[in-house]
Every structure is written in structure tokens, then in C-alpha cells.
Amino acid sequence: MPDAFCSLEGKRALVTGGSRGIGAAIVRELARAGADVVLGYRTGAAEAEAVAHETGARAVQADVSSAEEAARLVEEAGRLDILVNNAGHTRDGLLARMPDEDWRDVIETNLSSVFYTCRAVTRPMLKQRGGAIVNVSSIVGVRGNWGQTNYAASKAGIIGFTKSLARELGPRGVRANVVAPGYVDTRLTEALPEEAKQQMLRATPLGRFGEPADVAGAVRFLCSGEAAFITGEVLLVDGGLGM
């Protein structure tokens, strides 16, 4: 039986980037809350199918950095009550040496994908006069980070985009919020040098990296009826790093 608090029973959710890491944790948490979950993924078909089998979700392959693919994903998902945009990646490097391709790829994958999927769900959600959108940003979009001008720009853009979206959709009962994780144990942080990890830990008051489940719980809350009067907000899930 789904948990009563922050229940999503009877809701259908689409989660992009849901095959691994934070995205997979979000799929698991929303399914645990009772939602019918559609798992969008670009790569990692075996991982996506494994998460779908575990949770009862339905996996759909799509590259949401393409407007056409994003629209197809939303159409295949069917009537949606919840959209969680989690798809994203990094191509780190100093600005002075950053190729145009690395800039465009990160902006398209992390930010344009949010525009494409939100545009695709806007009219249906406005028509049904209800819905919850949660866009996953990052503490880097709030504070910036060395060697991540492209990533920081994409994640900061998500924040401004979502606040504007919340103003547009609010009068019809559609909410839009942001979750901004701090440093979370995923494949991205595994690749960091040990000294960089220690610096991050020293700057985090709780003294640990986050877990994907920490982020997933925040997403579940913002998707639920318990957050019915919250829109346009940025919820930092960062162990206090952004204070």
C-alpha cells in the first residue's frame, strides 16, 4: 500500500533521466507514493528496464534535448498530473578552452529539454486545471562552480525558467518548483578527485554527501497535495551548503 503522507495515488508522473542515480531514485519514490510512473531515458536501456521492472514503471526511450523527441515522450506518457525534469549531464572545462559543442550540448540537454517538455505538458495541464512540475537544478546553478560555466548557466536558467512558468500557470492551478541538490553520491561525484571531495564535505554543514533518496523525497513532497500552496520555489537539498 502507498504511504498516506504525500500520497500520489491515482496520479501519473513522467520522470526524465530516470534510468540511474537521482532520476532512478525519484522513479522509485514516486512509485512508492502510489503514482503510475513513466520513466524517460536517453541511454542505459538495460538500467531503465531494470528500474521499470522493479517499480512497475513504464520505460520510454527519448532524447529530450530534441523538441520532437520530447513532445513524443510526453504524448506517449499520456495524461499527466506530474512532470519531473531530471535529465542532464556535464561537460566540464575552463571557459577559455571550452569548445562550442560542449556549451551547446550541456545547454540543450539540461535547459532546452526542460523548455521542450514543459511546453508539451502546459496546455493539457491548463485544460485539466491542475498539475505539478518539478525541475531539477543544482547548487551549482545558485553558487557557480569552477570549470562549470556551461553547467552553471543551464542550472541557473532552470531556476529563472521555473519561476516564470509558475507565474504563467498558477492561475489555472498548475504548480512549478525547483529542487536544487548539493553534492550527491552519483557517478558524477565518483569521478571527482579526492581533494575536491574533501573540500565539498568541509563546506557542507551536515558533513556528508547527499544520497539520491534525499533528493527523491523532496521531489515527492513538491509533487504532492501537501505542497498545494507552494509554487515558484527553489528547495535546496544540499546539507546546508547553500546557506
State the cell numbers at 140: 551549482
pLDDT of the residue at 194: 82
Domains of the chain: 12-236 (3.40.50.720)
Question: What percentage of the chain has pLDDT greater than the value 90?
Answer: 89
Please tell me the number of Cα atoms within 13 Å of 91 on its side-chain side.
17
Structure-model confidence comparison of residues 193 and 105, the more confident one: 105
Please tell me the number of Cα atoms within 13 Å of 78 on its side-chain side.
8
pLDDT of the residue at 24: 98
State the cell numbers at 2: 502507498
What does the pLDDT look like over 53-93, one tens digit per residue? 999 999 999 999 999 999 999 999 999 999 999 999 999 99
Q: What is the CA radius of gyration of the chain?
A: 17
Looking at the predicted structure, is the pLDDT value of residue 22 above 90? yes
Residue ranges with strand state E in the chain: 12-15, 36-41, 58-61, 82-85, 131-136, 174-181, 234-237
d(CA 22, CA 136): 10
Active-site residue, 183 included = no
What does the pLDDT look like over 146-195, one tens digit per residue? 899 999 999 999 999 999 999 999 999 999 999 999 999 877 667 677 88
pLDDT of the residue at 3: 60
For the chain, the average pLDDT equals 95
β 131-136/174-181 pair status: parallel
pLDDT of the residue at 236: 98
What number is the average pLDDT over the span 124-141? 97
pLDDT of the residue at 199: 86
d(CA 62, CA 68): 9
Structure-model confidence comparison of residues 70 and 2, the more confident one: 70
pLDDT of the residue at 191: 65
pLDDT of the residue at 2: 56
DSSP secondary structure letter of residue 227: G
What does the pLDDT look like over 191-225, one tens digit per residue? 677 887 888 889 999 999 999 999 999 999 999 99
